[in-house]
Amino acid sequence: MPRVHDIPVPDLHGKRAVVTGASDGIGLRLATHLAAAGAEVILPVRDTRKGEAAVAQIQAAAPGGRCVLQPLDLSSLASIAALSETLIDEGVPVHLLVNNAGVMTPPNRQATADGFELQFGTNHLGHVALVLGLLPLLREGRARVTSQISIAAKRHAINWDDLNWERSYHPMRAYSQSKIALGLFGLELNRRSAAEGWGITSNLAHPGVAPTSLLAARPELGRAEDTREVRLIRTLSRRGILVGTPETAQQPALFAATSPEAEGGALYGPHGLGHLAGRPARQKLYSRLRGTEEAERVWQVSEELVSSRLVAPA
C-alpha cells in the first residue's frame, strides 16, 4: 500500500470552500480534509442521494464539519449559472475553489446540454463558467483556485480546428485536450489576477495515477464494464506498486489549495517515479502549458463559447 503522507492543513475556520466532484473519490477526500480543518464546504452535486451520502461520510470522519449541498450539473451552463446566482445572492466570499470534477474517455462522442463535446464541455468549459460566475466572490475572498488536471496533459494538444470533435473523435485525445485547456485557463487566471489586482491565486494539481471512478464502469458514458486499465491500476495499488490510492491521489490538490507554501502559476503533483504516486511536490509545467499566447487564446475562446451558449435560469 502506498504511504499516505501527512499534509498539514492550516486552520480554515471562517473560510468557505467549493469543491466540484466531491460526492466520491478524490473530491470526497478533499472535502473531508477541508471540513476537518474548519472550512464550510459547498458540495455542488448532480446526484442528491449520492451527495447526502457524501455529507454523512464527511461528518462521520470530521465531526462538526460544515457541509452544504447545492445542485450542479457541470455539463449544463444553465445549471452552473443557477449555482453561481445562488451563491452570489448569499453574498458569502469564496476562499477556496477546487475544480476537481471530470469525466474521462467515453468510448463514443457525447455532447453536453449545450452541444459541447462532453469532456471539453464538462472538464474545461464547465469550470470556466463556474470561475467566471463566482468571480466577484472569489475576488472578495482573495481566493485560492486549484484546478485538477492530469498527466494526460503531457500528451496530445488542443484540437483548434475541431474543438468539439465533430469531424472525428478520439477519446483520449479529447480528454487530454480538456485537461490542457483547463490547465492553461488556470494559469491565465493567475496572470490576469496579478495584472488586474483581483487578489486571486490560481494554481494546478494532478493526482498521478490511482484507482478512482474515472475509468470504472459508467453505463451513462457508454462504458458497461471497468476498463482493463482500471483493473490493472487497482491491482498495482493494492500491492503498493508504482501507483497511488484515492487517498494519496488527493494530496497534491490538498497541498496546492491550502498550503502557505503553494504558489500561484505552479503545478503540484506526486513526487514519485514517473510522478504517478508519492509525496506532493512542485513540478515543472508540462510543455503544453507553457505558452502564454496559447493560454490567452484559451481564455478568450472559452469565455466566448460560454457566453454565447449561456441561457440564464428561469
Residue 165: name the closest of 149, 151, 147, 181 by CA: 181
Task: Work out whether the CA dihedral 42, 255, 261, 131 comes out positive or negative.
Answer: negative
**pTM score of the predicted model:** 0.92
Instruction: List the grid coordinates of 222.
Output: 457508454
Interacting residues of 36 by C-beta distance below 8 A, sequence separation 6+: 9, 61, 62, 65
Q: What pLDDT does 313 receive?
A: 39
Query: What's the number of CA atoms in the CB half-sphere (13 Å) around residue 286?
Result: 25
Q: Which segments in the chain show pLDDT lower than 70? A: 1-5, 213-219, 222-224, 310-314
Say how far apart CA 94 and CA 150 lie, in whole Å.
25
What are the residue numbers of the active site?
A: 175
Q: What pLDDT does 228 receive?
A: 76
Q: What is the pLDDT of residues 163-186, one digit of tens each?
A: 999 999 999 999 999 999 999 999
| Pairing relationship of beta strands 280-283 and 267-270 according to DSSP bridges | antiparallel
Say how far apart CA 215 and CA 205 lie, in whole Å.
19
Are 69 and 51 within 8 A, CB to CB?
yes
The average confidence (pLDDT) of the chain is 92
Q: What angle do CA 111, 115, 121 make, to 5 degrees?
A: 65
Enumerate domains of the chain plus CATH numbers: 16-306 (3.40.50.720)
Q: What is the pLDDT of residues 36-83, one digit of tens each?
A: 999 999 999 999 999 999 999 999 999 999 999 999 999 999 999 999
